[in-house]
Amino acid sequence: MPARLDEEKRGLIYSMYEVHPEMRGKKPNPMAGRRRFKRCAVSVRKGSAKTELLAWIAIVELLGPARCVRWEKGQPIGGQVNDPYIPLLASTEEQSEELAYGAVRVILGESKSLRGLVDIGLERCEVIKGGGKVLAVATAPNQADGARTTFNGFDETHRLSLPRHKAAHRTMLANVPKRKIADAWSMEITTSFAPGEGSVAEDTYQYAEAIREGKVKEPTLFFFHRQASNDHDLTTKKGLLAAIKEASGPVAEWSDLGGIADQWKDPTADRTYLRRTWLNMPTRSADSAFDSVRWAQLEDQHEVSRGTWITLGFDGSRSIDATALIGTEILTGYQWVIGLWERPGNVPQWEVPVAEVNSLVEHAFETWQVWRFYADPPFWESVINEWCGKYNDGDEPSKARVVKWYTNASSSRKLSTAVLAFVNGIADGSLSHDGHEGLTRHIANAQKRPIGTKDEKGLPMWTIQKERPDSPKKIDAAMAAILSWQARQDARALGIGTIEPSPYETRGFLSL
Distance CA 481, CA 192 (A): 28
Q: Which of helix, strand or coil describes residue 87?
A: strand
Q: What is the CATH number of the domain that holds 462?
A: 3.30.420.240
Say which CATH number the domain at 26 has: 3.40.50.300
- Asked whether 237 and 261 are in contact (CB, 8 A), the reply is yes
Give the SS3 label for residue 225: strand
DSSP H helices in 149-225: 163-175, 200-212
User: What is the tens place of the pLDDT at every residue in 233-277?
Assistant: 998 999 999 999 999 999 999 999 999 999 999 887 888 889 999
Q: Which of 42, 6, 273 is nearest to 156 (CA)?
A: 42
The number of folded domains in the chain is: 3
pLDDT tens, 372-387? Answer: 999 999 999 999 999 9
Q: Which of 187, 202, 225 is a domain's end point? A: 225
**Residue 1 maps to a domain:** no
Assign 211 to helix, strand or coil: helix
Q: What is the pLDDT of residue 394?
A: 66
- Mark whether 330 and 453 lie in a shared domain: yes
Mean pLDDT of 447-452: 91
Residue 115 has what pLDDT?
A: 78
Average pLDDT, the chain: 90
Give the whole-angstrom CA distance, residue 144 versus residue 87: 8
- Is 436 a domain residue? yes
Output 383 or 408, whichever has higher pLDDT. Answer: 383
Pick the range with the lowest mean pLDDT from 273-277, 341-345, 444-448.
341-345
Among 225, 250, 270, residue at a domain's last position:
225
Contact 39, 177 (CB under 8 A): no
- With a pLDDT cut of 70, the percent of the chain lying above it is 94
Residue-wise pLDDT for 217-240, tens only, equals 888 999 999 999 988 999 899 999
Is 334 in the same domain as 244? Answer: no
Q: Is the per-residue pLDDT at 507 higher than 70?
A: no
440 and 333 assigned to the same domain: yes
State the first-to-last Cα distance of the chain, in angstroms, to the nearest integer. Answer: 78
The answer to whether residue 283 is domain-embedded is: no
Instruction: Provide the pLDDT for residue 142.
Output: 56
The residues, ordered by sequence, that sit 6+ positions from 319 with a Cβ below 8 Å of its Cβ are 343, 349, 350, 351, 352
Residues 242 and 334 in one domain: no
85 and 202 in a single domain? The answer is yes
In sequence order, the 6+-apart residues with CB closer than 8 A to the CB of 422 are 290, 431, 481, 482, 485, 486
210 and 300 both lie in a single domain: no
How would residue 348 be classed by pLDDT, with cut points 50, 70 and 90?
confident
- Which DSSP string do the residues of 395-464 spell out, in sequence order? S-GGG-SEEE---SGGGHHHHHHHHHHHHHHHHHT--EE---HHHHHHHHH-EEEEEEEE-TTSPEEEEE
The reply to whether 23 falls in a domain is yes
What are the backbone dihedrals phi and psi of residue 108, each rounded to the nearest 5 degrees, phi first?
A: -65, -35
Same domain, 316 and 459: yes
- In this structure, the number of other CB atoms found within 10 A of the CB of residue 284 comes to 19
| pLDDT(504) > 70 | no
**Residue 329 belongs to a domain:** yes
Strand partners, 35: 19
* Pair 255, 297 in one domain: no
For the chain, the maximum distance between any two Cα atoms, rounded to a whole number of angstroms, is 90
CA distances from 81 to 67, 183, 269, 286, 344 (A): 7, 9, 47, 46, 36
Task: Say what percent of the chain tops pLDDT 90.
Answer: 71
Distance CA 279, CA 277 (A): 6
Residue environment code for 464-485, b if the CB has 16+ CB neighbours within 10 A, otherwise e = bbbeeeeebbbbbbbbbbbbbb
Between 175 and 114, where is the model more confident?
175
Range of the domain at 274: 237-278
What confidence tier does 506 reach under pLDDT thresholds 50, 70, 90? very low
Residue 341 Cα to chain centre, angstroms: 18
pLDDT digits (tens, 9 = 90+) for 87-112: 999 887 777 677 899 999 999 988 88
Task: Determine how many CB atoms are found less than 10 A away from the CB of residue 368.
Answer: 23
- The confidence score (pLDDT) of residue 286 equals 77
For residues 209 and 305, state if they share a domain: no
Residue 502 located in a structural domain: no
User: Identity (one letter) of the amino acid at 118?
Assistant: V
> Do residues 476 and 376 both lie within one domain?
yes
Rounded Cα gap, residues 502 and 369, in angstroms: 12
Q: Are 425 and 250 in contact (CB under 8 A)?
A: no
pLDDT at 144: 56
Q: Give, in order, the Cα–Cα distances in Å from 147 to each of 174, 384, 483.
A: 10, 46, 44
Q: Quick one: pLDDT band at residue 395, thresholds 50, 70, 90?
A: low
State how far the Cα of 262 lies from the Cα of 260, in Å rounded to an integer: 5
Q: Classify residue 144: in a domain, yes or no.
A: yes
Please tell me the distance from the alpha carbon of residue 498 to that of residue 422, in angstroms, as a whole number. 19
CA 500 to chain centre: 38
Strands (E), 44-99: 65-72, 75-80, 85-89
Q: Does residue 397 lie within any of the structural domains?
A: yes
Q: Mark whether 269 and 318 lie in a shared domain.
A: no
Is 9 within 8 Å of 53 (Cβ atoms)? yes
Please say whether the dihedral angle defined by the alpha carbons of residues 403, 404, 408 and 414, taken in this order, is positive or negative. Answer: negative
User: Are residues 198 and 328 part of one domain?
Assistant: no
198-207 tens-digit pLDDT? 899 999 999 9
Helix (H) or strand (E) holding 239: helix 237-248
